[in-house]
Copies of this chain bind each other. A is one copy, B any other.
Amino acid sequence: MNIVNAINNAIDIKLNEDPNVLAFGEDVGKEGGVFRVTEGLQQKYGKQRVFDTPLGESGIAGSAVGMAIAGLRPIIEMQFSGFVYPAFNQIVSHAARMRNRTRSRYSTPIVIRMPYGGGINALEHHSESMEALFAHVPGLKVVIPSTPHDAKGLMIAAIESDDTIVFMEPKRIYRAIKQEVPEDKFSIEIGKGKIVQEGTDLTIVTYGALVREVQKAAVMAKKQGISVEIIDLRTIYPIDRDIIRDSVTKTGRVITVTESPRSFSVASEVSQIVIEEAFLNLEAPPKRVTGFDTIVPLPKGEHHYIISPEKIYYEILDTIKY
């Protein structure tokens, strides 16, 4: 299974199991989404449960809020994360707040799916990584898988969660990784990171499509005798402090790698957590390797922006030398 299959499989399992689960969005029904993540599901579950909506992100997110209050569990798609902004008001002012506003009377168990991230030679607005925007909003949880296995387990958990989950899908690796994934239902706890690879000299915290790139950089580092521990956050909010603390306490050095703009990013938050949790263990300043504080360039310029394993390796050397 690749990530697309894994997410499809997770949604399929939940649609099958729970009649309250619905999946909708622009082009989600008949053609199964522009990335085919929901392919075949309308055919299987009917037009009332898996469907195309009019072209309006606010309408999609807002109607999901209403449905959720009525007891349904909508899985909605924003066609690209760059097009979530028209829905921002519904997400921030309502999905994230309805439970608090009604003192837990109503909750909004909505999964807001959206492909995100660069590296696919796309038009403008099709390449951004703005997870920090959601992570800063009280009342939301933000999940980003990096493997088919995790994508399935996290999607099941997201659909079953009574909270609103922003589920960001690293489209660059939608089909790039194939894995054996159990056919049965399983879930992965939201809020827990994963040690992708153990190491002793330096910790790299990352997530999404960059986990693979970090792994490549770690191979380069290994050749120089540098042992890198890699953490895949999997959930951006609530972030897994424990896994970060335990790792950095051990290694004393940390780099956070994210493809988003640098300032006010997830990397800054991870560094803050590190200094809160492991200040005295630090042998070098927590570093961030990120996109620039720029818009992702159109394809011909994107190689400048995209974070290469070499760049990560270069920063590893810098941190180790410190």
Contact = CB atoms under 8 A, between A and B. Distances in A.
Interface string A110-148: 000000000000001100001011011111000000000
A53 interface: no
A266 B269 contact: no
B263 A264 contact: no
A136 B271 contact: no
Interface residues of A, number: 47
Given A89-B86, A125-B93, A138 B272 contact: no
A103 to B, nearest CB: 11
Copies in the complex: 2
A269 B264 contact: yes
A88 interface: yes
A97 interface: yes
A263 B269 contact: yes
B269 A275 contact: no
Interface in A61-94: 82, 85-86, 88-89, 92-93
Which of A124, A260, A271, A272 has the most chain B CB atoms closer than 10 A to its own CB? A272
A318 interface: no
Interface in A156-196: none
A92 B85 contact: yes
28 contacts: A85-B89, A85-B92, A85-B93, A93-B125, A96-B295, A97-B124, A100-B294, A101-B124, A132-B132, A133-B133, A136-B136, A136-B265, A138-B292, A138-B294, A139-B295, A237-B263, A264-B268, A267-B272, A268-B269, A268-B271, A268-B272, A271-B271, A271-B275, A272-B286, A275-B275, A275-B286, A279-B284, A279-B285
